[in-house]
Amino acid sequence: MVIGIIGLGLIGGSFAKDLRGEPWTDRIIGVDNNSDHAKRARELGLVDELVELPQLMSEAEVILLAIPVDGIVALLPSLLDRVSEKQTVIDLGSTKRAVVEAVRGHARRSRYVAAHPMAGTENSGPDAALSGLFKGKVVLLCNLEDSAPDACRMALQIFHSVGLRFEFMPAEQHDRHAAYVSHLSHVVSYALSLAVQTEEKAGYAVPRLAGGGFASTVRLAKSQPEMWVPIFLLNADEVLPAIDSFLMEMHRFRDALAAQDPAGIRNLIATANQIRELLK
């Protein structure tokens, strides 16, 4: 079959790499608004052909939508306007409630599957695409009761073939969990980067002294605004309470330290250590 990918960056490009080897993949065609990214994706062999959006919509049996979530919200309704009963559109965005709301009640809603593969890196663009990026990771599938059974099967076939494990939940629940296990980590990492850059202006300490611990904690601060500004804005209802919950814990820690309270600090650390049991 013909696979159409809209957005040939880290996520779209990584799907292209992994789907390339499937016996049922006849051709992969793609679109990217960024002409440098489009050209580079073709050079890297991620797609067989760069096309315009109307051609992609007429030729592809399955369409993967791998662009920032504000773009998904804006584009998805018009894609569904053109989709046939034999095509499936799958979005791969990092928030889900705003996307499903954008097509609620659409005549072709059932041709659309809402998904979020929880995998990625801090890099972006076609050069960041990686074979095996999704292997063993989780894809959250949301509101499948609104998708046609054959569209669901198509999505599961695509995700299974790249090694993703399935979890199913309503879009609202997805957005709440994602705020805690993904979006909050990014806010925290950005703020850490900002604080360290402000205090270490001379640029001396970070390149010379920072070890693996700092690098690990600040890694997500390399993630680009094109993807992340829309995620935060569209999921602000969940991200703001997550930030507040985190700030409360920071203040508990700060208070215990300001009071030179060893037992208080020890209790906080010992509880924090329990993340070991949850993250094996």
For residue 141, the minimal CB distance to a second copy (Å) is: 12
Question: Binding to a second copy (CB under 8 A): which residues in 183-212?
Answer: 184-200, 203, 205-212
Q: What are phi and psi of 20, to 5 degrees?
A: -50, -40
Nearer to a second copy, 22 or 122 (CB): 122
Among 46, 90, 119, 154, contact with a second copy (rule: CB under 8 A):
119
**Taking CB under 8 A as the rule, does residue 111 contact a second copy?**
no
Round to whole Å and give the CA distance between 33 and 30: 10
Helices 225-234 and 69-82, interaxial angle, to 10°?
A: 80
Instruction: Give the nearest distance from C-beta 78 to a second copy in angstroms.
Output: 22
Applying the rule CB under 8 A, the residues between 120 and 139 that interact with a second copy are 120-122, 137-138
Q: Which of residues 240-269 bind a second copy (CB under 8 A)?
A: 240, 242-254, 257-258, 260, 262, 265-266, 268-269
Tell me the number of residues near a second copy by CB under 8 A: 91
Query: Rounded distance, CA 20 to CA 28, Å?
Result: 8
Token reading at 243: 């930030």
Residue identified by tokens 């601060």 is: 221
74 binds a second copy (CB under 8 A): no
Do residues 146 and 80 make contact, with C-beta atoms less than 8 angstroms apart? no
Binding mask 29-68 for a second copy (x = CB under 8 A): ----------------------------------------
Q: Which two tokens stand for residue 134?
A: 């999704």
- At its nearest, how many Å lie between a second copy and the CB of residue 64? 19
> Looking only at residues 210 through 229 of this chain, which bind a second copy when binding is defined by CB under 8 A?
210-225, 228-229
Least separation in angstroms between CB 195 and a second copy: 4
Question: Nearest distance from residue 262's CB to a second copy, in Å?
Answer: 5
Separation of alpha carbons 165 and 162, rounded Å:
9
Please report, as residue ranges, which positions from 147 to 166 form the binding site for a second copy (by CB under 8 A).
Answer: none
Which residues are 268's β-sheet partners? none
Instruction: Kindly tell me the burial class for residue 56, based on how many C-beta atoms sit within 10 Å of its own C-beta (0-12, 13-18, 19 or more).
Output: buried
Cβ pair 8, 37 in contact under 8 A? yes
What is the C-alpha to C-alpha distance for residues 274 and 245, in angstroms, rounded to an integer?
Answer: 18
- If binding is defined by CB under 8 A, does position 11 make contact with a second copy? no
Tokens of 54: 């109307």
| Nearer CB in complex with a second copy: 28/234 | 234
